[in-house]
């Protein structure tokens, strides 16, 4: 068994729909056989399931609805061997998401958070969830904000993914960026080149480890004390169905590998391979490799290098 990791954030009921192309043309009725799917997803569930598949002991703290979707989430947790102890049914409705993706794997995400952003998670339950954990993977939902302080007080390192951030002092994400020991984000809305961005993030926040996911260009890693960032190219040659959840896969595998080895460079190389395999499936929480399967994929990829 790997390390015990607390994952906190949004869990949602997700529907995926494969379309012919963007933009989607209007048609009053369509019958896209075998093009729609539904499953449990959301950033926290994607990360929790990936870590669990890799062999870690995961606790998932989230807020669910007292509805059919919430019951489905609890059922899915039980099926996947995830503890439901910290998945609290305190909302009227469970968050939902709709993912459109085309034949090239591009995706458009529609998220209905219901009223989760206005709700609080009991701090005493966060404290219970943190017990015995070596890392807290904290999503940037509003109810996760108190966990930043609680993890810091408990001496537990914090990892967070602020996703499509676009401002250095983003008013919504600034608290998460300041608290993070490991900070992930996407390149999609950055106002400058990733290498310059990570330099400015470190100057502003002093973050120890910064990773920018760059899609088909791989990922960029900046470690405090390193002379320059490390660019890890994307792993080529694997099927691409949908890029939804690729960032969650990159984040979760990096955390898994890093807490084991404390080598961020090797952790990112593994994470890039893990994410490349994951996008061969449509749903956000599918396509995760076990640690043994990941090691084989990495070895095979290294054997193909010139």
Q: Which two tokens stand for residue 217?
A: 């260009």
In a domain, 28, yes or no: no
pLDDT per position as a tens digit, 242-254? 888 999 999 999 9
**CATH code of the domain covering residue 272:** 3.40.1190.20
Position with higher pLDDT, 147 vs 105:
147
| pLDDT at residue 234 greater than cutoff 50 | yes
Q: For residue 167, how far is the Cα from the chain centroid?
A: 20
Condensed to tens digits (0 to 9), the pLDDT of residues 120-152 reads 999 999 999 999 999 999 999 999 999 999 999
Which pLDDT does position 305 carry in this prediction?
A: 55
In terms of pLDDT, which residue wins out, 306 or 286?
286
User: Are residues 6 and 136 in contact, defined by beta-carbon separation less than 8 angstroms?
Assistant: yes
Tell me, what's the pLDDT at 85? 95
CA 64 centroid distance within chain: 18
pLDDT digit string, tens, across residues 39-84: 999 999 999 999 999 999 999 999 999 999 999 999 999 999 999 9
Check residues 221 and 1 and name the one with the higher pLDDT.
221
Is residue 291's pLDDT more than 90? Answer: yes
Residue 213 placed within a domain? yes
Range of the domain at 69: 4-22+33-303
What the block records as the tokens of 239 is 């099927």
H or E element, residue 178:
helix 174-179
1: pLDDT strictly greater than 80 = no
Q: What is the helix (H) or strand (E) element at residue 111, kind and residue range?
A: strand 107-112
pLDDT per residue over 151-203, tens digit each?
A: 999 999 999 999 999 999 999 999 999 999 999 999 999 999 999 999 999 99
- Considering the domain boundaries, does residue 215 fall inside one? yes
- pLDDT the model gives residue 107: 86
Whether residue 280 lies inside any domain: the answer is yes
The confidence score (pLDDT) of residue 105 equals: 81
Q: What is the average per-residue pLDDT within 230-253?
A: 93
- Percent of the chain surpassing pLDDT 70: 98
Domain membership of residue 146 (yes or no) is yes
Residue 229, domain member (yes or no): yes
Residue 94: pLDDT over 80: yes
263 domain residue, yes or no: yes
- Is residue 306 pLDDT above 50, yes or no? no
Tell me which residue of 121, 171, 128, 164 sits closest to 145, measured CA to CA: 121
Q: Is the pLDDT of residue 232 over 80?
A: yes
* Mean confidence (pLDDT) of the chain: 94
3-state secondary structure the chain: CCCEEEEECCCEEEEEEECCCCCCCCCCCCCCCCCEEEEEECHHHHHHHHHHHHCCEEEEEEEEECCHHHHHHHHHHHHHCCECCCEEEEECCCCEEEEEECCCCCEEEEEECCCHHHCCCCHHHHHHHHCCCCEEEECCCHHHHHHHHHHHHCCCCEEEECCCCCCCCCCCCHHHHHHCCEEEEECCCCCCCHHHHHHHHHHHHCCCEEEEECHHHCEEEEECCCCCCEEECCCCCCCCCCCCCHHHHHHHHHHHHHHHHCCHHHHHHHHHHHHHHHCCCCCCCCCCCCHHHHHHHHHHHHHCCC
pLDDT over threshold 60, residue 102: yes
Would 282 be classed as within a structural domain? yes
Count up the domains in the chain and report the number.
Answer: 1
């Amino acid at each position: 068994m790997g390390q015990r990791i607390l994952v906190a954030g949004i869990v949602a009921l997700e529907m995926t729909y494969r379309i012919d192309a963007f933009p989607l043309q209007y048609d009053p009725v369509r019958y896209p056989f075998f093009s729609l799917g539904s499953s449990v997803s959301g950033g926290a569930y994607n990360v929790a399931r990936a870590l669990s598949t890799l062999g870690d002991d995961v606790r998932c703290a989230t807020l669910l609805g007292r509805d059919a979707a919430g019951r489905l989430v609890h059922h899915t947790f039980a099926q996947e061997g995830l503890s439901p102890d910290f998945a609290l049914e305190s909302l009227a409705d469970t968050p939902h998401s709709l993912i459109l993706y085309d034949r090239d794997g591009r995706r458009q995400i529609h998220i209905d958070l219901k009223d989760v952003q206005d709700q609080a998670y009991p701090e005493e339950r966060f404290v219970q969830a943190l017990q015995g954990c070596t890392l807290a993977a904290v999503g940037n939902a509003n109810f996760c904000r108190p966990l930043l302080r609680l993890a810091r007080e408990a001496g537990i390192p914090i990892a967070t993914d602020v996703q499509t951030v676009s401002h250095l002092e983003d008013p919504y994400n600034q608290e998460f960026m300041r608290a993070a020991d490991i900070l992930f984000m996407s390149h999609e809305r950055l106002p400058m080149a990733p290498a310059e961005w990570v330099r400015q993030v470190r100057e502003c926040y002093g973050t120890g480890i910064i990773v920018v996911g760059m899609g088909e260009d791989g990922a960029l890693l900046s470690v405090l004390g390193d002379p320059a960032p490390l660019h890890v190219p994307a792993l080529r040659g694997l099927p691409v169905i949908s890029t939804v959840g690729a960032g969650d896969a990159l984040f979760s595998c990096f955390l898994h590998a890093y807490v084991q080895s404390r080598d961020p460079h090797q952790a990112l190389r593994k994470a890039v391979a893990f994410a490349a395999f994951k996008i061969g499936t449509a749903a956000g929480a599918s396509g995760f490799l076990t640690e043994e399967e990941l090691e084989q994929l990495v070895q095979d990829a290294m054997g193909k290098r010139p």
